[in-house]
Structure 1
Amino acid sequence: MFKGVLRKGSIVLASTVLAFTLAACGNNGGNNTGNGAAEGGNNTGTEAVKDLSGEIRIDGSSTVFPITQAVAEEFMNINNGVNVTVSEGGTSTGFKKIINGEIDIADASRKVKDEEVADLKAKNEEVVEMPVALDGITVVINKENTWATEMTVEELKMIWQKDSKVKLWSDVRPDWPKEEIKLFGPGTSSGTFEYFTEEINGTKNESTTNYTPSEDDNVLVTGVAGEKNSLGYFGFAYYEENADKLTAVAIKETADAAAVAPSVETIGDGSYKPLSRPIFIYPLKSALAKPHIAEFVKYLNGEEGQALVEEVGYIKLSAEDYKKNLDMVK
């Protein structure tokens, strides 16, 4: 099994698999998973595919990155003629790169946009939308913060909305400390940023600029862990990996609603609202015609890939959802 360490991003679950194909784009920068070397293996849960060779280029969401990286390492271990490079430049960057023909698969923590589909179509290309896991965007505070362990969506909006006037914790609730809030969050090319701003602020991509942004979730973890008065957000998998350093905020949809903390159970059953979401891969339809790429995607959606989804801290989909993905490869 995968022996790597979760380095970036978070996990997202996809609740339904869409059978239609869509367009996508690329991304920049990243991490090379390296080449494995082993023999034999079971790529798709049936028989091993012999003599596979070629390159597979993946870029995009830092949230999906741990999944595709783990799958890449295991896939290369049983297919030593295949080299898979996985990078994490952010969802929007991934879509840009796939549009430009720089990668074969885009990792995404949001759905492809109509304009991205159109850009691909203009190049006689399209992508196949495949949800691969469920994730819950987790709002986190420093371990020394004992006052903000529960917050409403409206309170989060007060802090994160564009042109927010909130500076101190006491600006949110008068009985909270008169201390400046230090904010940490994903950069603007992140699908997590887009999803969070739409669900919390009501308008996607509109946010206060008074925060420290990073596409590297480890930077966000370090920032919140190192500052008592901090607040941040990123994927659930990264919270779970760092639960000894951070506290997850329980979210109340309304002031009268019960506070719900993120967990495998609450994300899986959808009760962690409104920040539970699916995450995706978008392979080029033309790339799936290449045997080594088709087998990689089958491996990711097969029993081995599903086990890796859970191993790196994400919530896997139903067996039927993965079957739909596999049917699209065929």
Structure 2
Amino acid sequence: MMSRETTASLPTDLGRRDFLAAASVALSGSLAGCSGVFAAEGSQVNIAGSSTVFPVTEAVGSAFSEENPTINVSISKTGTGGGFGNFFCAGRTDINNASRAIADAEIEQCGENEITPMEFQVATDALTVVVNPNADWIDCLTVEELREIWSADSSVERWSDVNDDWPDQEVELYGAATTSGTFDYFNEAVLGEEANHRSDYYATERDRTIVQGVQGSEAAMGYFGFSYYSENPDSIKAIAIDDGDGCTPPSLETAMSGEYTPLSRPLYIYVAKESLTEPAVRDFARFYMERAATDLVADVGYVPITEDKRDENLERLEDAIAEVTA
């Protein structure tokens, strides 16, 4: 049920979050046999979707399970699009993590299956471009240079193709799979509507695989959510982005202030309104909305929502709960 992922021989550098993901069977794993929105029992919450939002949902799920040990929270990384298409809009999960807004075609698919998606922003991300720490020739890229490297019609094969002063080394590219919301956002923000993302790169839904690839090669470049950089600041190097106003590094501060353009973005969860008939899903959604405005989000490397946004989310959530439980 998971989307296919390319495999390669890569160095191993497992961090704290890798250990948590491996150790917590209740919180992450396969969605095989999941009950989804048609569950007959209310002790299960099933979640798929974005690997970028995964660290937030994993942290919320862990805190929730400590207070609600009888409720099983199952989380899987399928990519935003893979989560919508294969699980959420098919009625197989209650919640979808999403690093982009739901597409019209996905809304239509949900409607065909009588699923009503409710959008809740839970954080802000600074999508981060990274290179190997030994790549001492590069600290900043313009948006035009990023576009030159990553577009489908790119002639860039070596670093020197971008800048004559850079090494005559073949560029090794790592990035999000096409099912990922990160892929969609990067394509829109950097390449624009007139260009397509190049296909000759190592594509994966697993951000830690990108981390490992960049760690293992001086000539590598990759991109993913800021959280995965914040876990590995000494073994990968974040690149500042120049959108016309000078080089701005990715950080929680620059994402919050709006300075980090065009790669700061909202992160979402989508809750199936029909699933709110289940007490476990209602309780988890309320818990998530409350925690999204706290340091729990900052601790995993994203900007928390404001208290105003939290209150707005909770009001819409309670209105929906009142409707489905009336």
Identify whether the pair has TM-score above 0.5, normalized to the shorter chain: yes
Q: What is the distance in 1 between the residues matched to 2:53 and 2:16?
A: 14
1:204 deviates by 8.5
Equivalent residue, structure 1, for 2:54: 65
1:146 deviates by 1.2
1:34 deviates by 3.6
| One of 70, 76, 83 as aligned partner of 1:87 | 76
| One of 283, 286, 299 as aligned partner of 2:271 | 283
The answer on whether the counterparts of 1:159 and 1:166 sit within 8 Å (CA) in structure 2 is yes
The answer on whether the counterparts of 1:53 and 1:81 sit within 8 Å (CA) in structure 2 is no
Equivalent residue, structure 2, for 1:181: 171
1:207 deviates by 0.9
TM-score by length of 1: 0.83
Give the ranges of 4+ consecutive aligned residues of structure 1 lying more than 3 Å apart after TM superposition.
30-36
Deviates more, 1:63-72 or 1:197-206: 197-206
Alignment of 1:153 with 2:164, yes or no, is: no
Q: Which has the higher helix share?
A: 2
RMSD: 2.1
**Deviations for 1:190-229, whole angstroms, at most 9, x for unmatched residues?**
1001100111111389211121111111110010111001
Flag the 1:129–1:32 CA change in 2: closer, same or farther, 3 A.
farther
Flag the 1:299–1:131 CA change in 2: closer, same or farther, 3 A.
same
Flag the 1:326–1:299 CA change in 2: closer, same or farther, 3 A.
same
1:186 deviates by 0.9
The answer on whether the counterparts of 2:151 and 2:195 sit within 8 Å (CA) in structure 1 is no
| One of 236, 240, 264 as aligned partner of 1:246 | 236
Flag the 1:134–1:205 CA change in 2: closer, same or farther, 3 A.
farther
Equivalent residue, structure 2, for 1:298: 286
Q: Which segments of 5 or more consecutive residues in structure 2 lack a partner in the other structure?
A: 1-14, 28-40, 319-326
1:269 deviates by 0.8
Equivalent pairs: percent with the same residue?
Answer: 38
Q: What is the distance in 2 between the residues matched to 1:80 and 1:231?
A: 41
What is the SS of the residue equivalent to 2:131?
strand
Q: What is the distance in 1 between the residues matched to 2:204 and 2:305?
A: 28
Q: What is the distance in 2 between the residues matched to 1:205 and 1:149?
A: 25
Q: Which amino acid aligns with 1:242?
A: N
Q: What is the distance in 2 between the residues matched to 1:205 and 1:88?
A: 27
1:123 deviates by 2.1
Aligned length: 289
| One of 43, 60, 64 as aligned partner of 1:54 | 43
What is the SS of the residue equivalent to 1:110?
coil
Q: What is the distance in 1 between the residues matched to 2:23 and 2:118?
A: 24
Q: What is the distance in 2 between the residues matched to 1:5 and 1:204?
A: 40
1:93 deviates by 0.9
TM-score by length of 2: 0.84
Flag the 1:303–1:220 CA change in 2: closer, same or farther, 3 A.
closer
Equivalent residue, structure 2, for 1:136: 126
| One of 281, 297, 302 as aligned partner of 1:309 | 297
RCO higher in 1 or 2 (8 Å CA, sep ≥ 6)?
1
1:299 deviates by 0.6
Deviates more, 1:73-82 or 1:56-65: 73-82
| One of 77, 81, 96 as aligned partner of 1:106 | 96
**Deviations for 1:78-124, whole angstroms, at most 9, x for unmatched residues?**
11221110000100011011111110000000000111111111222
Alignment of 1:321 with 2:316, yes or no, is: no
